[in-house]
Structures are given as structure tokens and as C-alpha cells.
Structure 1
């Protein structure tokens, strides 16, 4: 028994030493890199066409502020940040190279401050972290691209010309977005979509999705592959919901002015049906409320 306990202690000690080595950038890949890790970086907004942020094991929070430069700052955790300005692109890379499960308790935190009069592109891609983009109704951007692999992604309260938001597993929350075109997709996990104005393309593969609309004044395309989805439709408006399904079920308690079910299809009309909500289902369960 004592021998077993001793072996366990040795094994734990070895794991701890390996973990320390992996977290020490000077002993591994960072020692061969010319990049210099920093805790703060900034770029003048008038020189930047795109803010490009990539994350690995990092939390990020984006907020608007009355300022003349785009600012990024590491505010917590054990991660490292690298930043450079290449032409009109301000590139920021934040990563946590912690060892295995220890990294879960030491995620770095990145605070990004964007000038309220910055009207160009924002791109954020990340994995195993938390991304929060809140424009507070003060950001009006050009192209916004947000992609997350695991973790949580929240995007709310901003306007843009084009928006692309994609999440794989984890939790996706998107609300109060005003864009000419939006492409939002979720694969597994849970997605909550609310009050998206403008043309919307929505996609879901497995998982659970809830989409709520205050108004429908533009076309909506929804492609659903398995999982369950609930669409909360507005009380008033002029729209037509058209469902085509290979299999699965459609449950509608919404009070359409006219509803028709034929074979594998369903059509429900409210008002004059001017705006089409086109839904294609491969399988799964759909509720219209």
C-alpha cells in the first residue's frame, strides 16, 4: 500500500513538472519565436480597416468607448498576447498554453475597447473560451465575423452592414442586431437568437435553438438538420412561413390568418404575407409560437 501511494506521489510530481514546462514559453516554442508577448497594445482607428482577433483558451470582452484608438489589454489569467499592425489590419493573438486541465483554471482575459466612431471590420475567432461583444447601441460597423469553437459566444446591441456568426457546441446568444445581411449558424449546443433586423440566414445542426422576432420585415431563411427549434413569431405583421421537411415534426400554436398542411409541407400566412420565412428541415422538431 505504501509503495502504491509512493508511486502515485511520484506520478503527480512528474505531471506537475511537465505542466510547468508547458506553461513556460521560454522553454518551448516561444524561445524560437521573434514575437514579443505584450500585455497592452493599441492602433489609431483612422489607420485600421480590420480588427482581427484570434483566441485560444482565452476570454474576450469587447466594448465601445469614446476614444481615438483601438485598445487591447490582458486583464487577468496566465495567457499571453501578441499584436501587430500590418497595413490596415490590426492583428491580435491571445493564447493560453497551459498544460491540460490546469489551463481551465487559468484562462487569460482580454479587454478590447473600440472607438464609437470606428466603422470598419471586426473579426474574432476563438476556441474554448468566452467571447462577449456588446456594442451598447453605440457601434455601427461594416463587416462583423464572430466564430467560436466550444465555449460561450454573446453578441448584442450593434449595427453592421454584414454579420457572420458561427458557433460549434457551447452556448450562443445573439440579440438586438441591425444589419443589412446576417448569417448565423450553430452546431450542437444551445442557441438563443432575438430581434435580428434585416435579411437573415439561420442554420442549425443538432442542439437546441430558440429564435424570437419582434418584427419580420425582411426575408428569413432557416436550414435545420436534426435537433429542436422554436420560432417565436411577432403578434402582428405581414409574413408567410413556408416549411419543407424531409422528416421530423412541425408543431404550430401560432394564430396564423391562414394555415395549410400538405404532405410534408406547411404554410402559414399572417397579414398579406409579404415577407417570406423559408424553412427547410432534414429532421428534428420545430415549434412555431
Structure 2
């Protein structure tokens, strides 16, 4: 009986090694994997789901979505209903997964103006969207590092569990940011802003204040850098922690639990609720 069990274990182990080492779809062999899908009029979303890879999204003059993966792993680019899906996969027991350097380049039409959903489990992602104007863009980051610059979207949604996100120049009608932990830094932002920060560091510098701001901080640190001529009415409430403002406020009501007042015309509302942590407005 023991011999049978041992034999089965050996066979199973050999199967796993063989399957991981010699599967044809790129798990064992390097080189480039190239996949593409045509962008028809019925497509209203591009879904990008990557992990463990250095990914770059490149807008250019083309009419399809093409992805090129360098290194080990599986690459999928397919049309599913009204979406184009770009996805990378790797085997759990790939023996060299900790040392390999995988690179993924995703080429998208620069005149694509519909929706894009980006999900990154780990690794890095760079996206310069200065040639694009999108309807909705959602970013879901489990960990890793993301850099985005020059985007104009109707609605931007960020959901971050951890990791680091840097955004340079984001113009949107509405931006929603849910930060569990990690770091999120935005420079040159305009649009309405809704931020729910459970932990971590959230920093935003606004080029202009033309809509409302709502910030709910459970723990962590928030920096809100406003233009000197910003017109706003501040309503800040604190359970434990601190809210501070470098702006002179009129008609203010300030105590240990509240910071209220108006700067300029008070046209735009800024609502800040702090359970714990620190919010700086300057």
C-alpha cells in the first residue's frame, strides 16, 4: 500500500513539474507573446487585468488593441460581449516566477473615448493618457506601483488596498477615491472629489476648485492643497485626530471637535469628517 501511495505522489510531482516546465503557452519559454483584438463600434469597455508584470499602456494611431508580453506567462486578448479583455496569467508553481522580469506593452487607439477598467494585483503600471479623453476610468489596485499622467475623463474611480499610486494631471467631472492603505498622490487635479480613506496617505493638489469636496478619514493622513484664490465653505468634524487650515476663514466656528468657516465667496463646499488621523488644508 505504501509503495502505491509513494508511486502516486511521485507521478503527481512529475506531472506538476512537467506541466509547469513544458507547457507550450509560454509558461516555461521566454520570448514574446503577441495578441490583438479589433475595436468595433459595439465595444464600450477595455478591461485590463494584470499581475506580476511591468505593464505600460500606450495610446497611438491604430484601430485595434494589441498586447505584447515579454517573458514567461500567458497572455489573453479577447472580445467578450461588448468588452475587450487583456489579461495575464502565471502558473502558481512556476519555479522561476520570483526572478523573472516580465514586461507587458498594451497598445490602444488614441481616439478611443469610451470606458476603461484597470485591475492590477501586483507589479507596476504606467499610463500616459495625454492623447486620450475617456468616459469612465476605474483603477483597482491590490498592490504594486501605478503612475498615470494627463488624463481627461468624465468619471474616475480608484479602489486601493495597498501599493503606491502617482497621478499627474487629472481632469474629471467626478473623482471617487477609496483608499484602504498605501499611498495616493495627485498633482494638477480638477473636478468634484469624494475620498474615503481608511488608512494610508492621500495627497491632492488642485489646479482649480470648481466643485465640492467630501473627505471621510478613518485613519491616516490627508493633504489638500488648494489654489490661493479658492472659494469654499469648510465644514470639518473631528472625533479623534486633527483638521487644520492655512486659509483665513470668516464666520468660523472652531473648537476641539469642529472647524467651520468660509474663504472667499464660499461657492464650493468642503466637507471633512475625521474619525482618527490628520487632515491638512493649505
Instruction: Give the structure-1-normalised TM-score.
Output: 0.82
The aligned runs of 1:276-287 (5 Å cut-off) are 276-287=269-280
* SS of residue paired to 1:217: coil
The answer (yes or no) to whether the contact 2:143–2:162 under 8 Å persists in 1 is yes
CA offsets, 1:41-92, max 9 Å, x none? 2323534211111112222211211222222221x23222012112321112
Q: How far apart are residue 266 of structure 1 and its match?
A: 0.5
CA apart distance, 1:262:
3.0
Q: Secondary structure in 2 aligned to 1:267?
A: strand
TM-aligned CA distance change 1:100 to 1:233, over 3 Å: farther
Distance (whole Å) between structure 2 residues aligned to residue 134 and residue 44 of structure 1: 20
Indicate conservation of the 8 Å contact 2:247/2:263, yes or no.
no
Q: Is the 8 A contact 1:172 1:186 kept in 2?
A: no
Larger relative helix fraction: 1
CA deviation profile, 1:193-225 (whole Å, cap 9, x unmatched):
222222211121211221111211111111111
5 Å-filtered alignment, 1:87-236, equals: 87-97=81-91, 99=93, 102-136=96-130, 138-236=131-229
Q: Residue 33 of structure 1 aligns with which residue?
A: none
1:62 equivalent to 2:57? Answer yes
User: Residues 257 and 215 from structure 1, CA distance in 2 versus in 1: closer, same or farther, beyond 3 angstroms?
Assistant: farther
Aligned to 2:5: none
Shift of 1:176: 1.5
Check whether the contact 2:37–2:78 (CA below 8 A) recurs between aligned residues: no
SS of the counterpart of 1:78?
coil
Shift of 1:97: 3.0
Distance change (3 Å), C-alpha of 1:284 and 1:145: same
Q: Distance in 1 between matches of 2:262 and 2:91?
A: 53
Aligned residues: 264
The secondary structure found in structure 2 opposite 1:46 is: coil
Please say if residues 72 and 112 of structure 1, whose CA atoms lie closer than 8 Å, have aligned partners that are also in contact. yes
Q: Mind listing any 5+ residue stretches in structure 1 that lack a counterpart? A: 1-16, 31-36
Cα distance change of structure 1 residues 24 and 260 upon mapping to structure 2, 3 Å threshold: farther
For 2:34 and 2:200, how far apart are their aligned partners in 1? 37
Structure 2 Cα separation of the partners of residues 268 and 175 of structure 1? 30
The alpha-carbon deviation at position 273 of structure 1 amounts to 0.7
Distance 1:167 1:99, change over 3 A: same
Q: Is the partner of 1:103 in helix, strand or coil?
A: coil
Offset, 1:175 = 2.9
The answer for unaligned runs of 5 or more in structure 2 is 1-13
Q: Secondary structure at the match of 1:202?
A: strand
Q: 1:268, CA displacement in angstroms?
A: 3.5
The question of whether the paired residues in 2 share the 8 Å contact of 1:164 and 1:183 is answered with: yes
SS at match of 1:24: helix
1:24 aligns with 2:17: no
CA contact (8 A) 1:19 1:98 kept: no
Q: Which has the higher strand share?
A: 1
CA gap 1:102/1:240 in 2 versus in 1, 3 angstroms: farther
When residues 68 and 251 of structure 1 are mapped into structure 2, their CA distance, relative to the original with a 3 A threshold, is: same
* CA deviation after TM superposition for structure 1 residue 257, in Å: 5.1
Q: Deviation digits for residues 159-216 of structure 1, max 9, x if unmatched?
A: 1221111222111112311222211222212111222222211121211221111211
| TM-score normalised by structure 2 residue count | 0.84
Q: Equivalent residue for 1:6?
A: none
